Amino acid sequence: MAVTRTHHYSVDEADVPELLARRAAVIAAIRAAHTGLSHTRLIRLEDGTFTDTWRWDSAGQMQAALAAMPIPEARAAMSLTHGATAQDGEIIDER
């Protein structure tokens, strides 16, 4: 069953372009090393914070990738964030 990891964080406005570049590097590195990352979605919320959701084909694939963390690309991207939190969830309905 598909699962997600959702991150919530703040980023200084001046750092958003660099965050996008570093985030792309994280995604590429993870996809090169691990299977199952089917898509990601970064959303800027009304309050200016971000929700970053990563969808995995299975919990096992997500856990394997997380076990390899933190990779240098992830450390670089997350160094631009403030107040980061993460939650995992199981997708029970998708239309």
* pLDDT one-digit tens code per residue, 45-82: 999 999 999 999 999 999 999 999 889 999 999 999 99
Tokens of 88: 């995992």
pLDDT tens-digit map of 12-34: 999 999 999 999 999 999 999 99
- Shortest CA distance to 62 belongs to which of 7, 3, 1? 3
CA 29 → CA 9, 41, 58, 69, distances in Å?
21, 17, 19, 11
Band of pLDDT at residue 9, cut at 50, 70 and 90? very high
Contact 34, 64 (CB under 8 A): yes
Question: What values do phi and psi take at 70, rounded to 5?
Answer: -85, 135
pTM above threshold 0.85: yes
CATH fold, domain 3-90, is Alpha-Beta Plaits (3.30.70)
Q: How far apart are CA 11 and CA 58, in angstroms?
A: 29
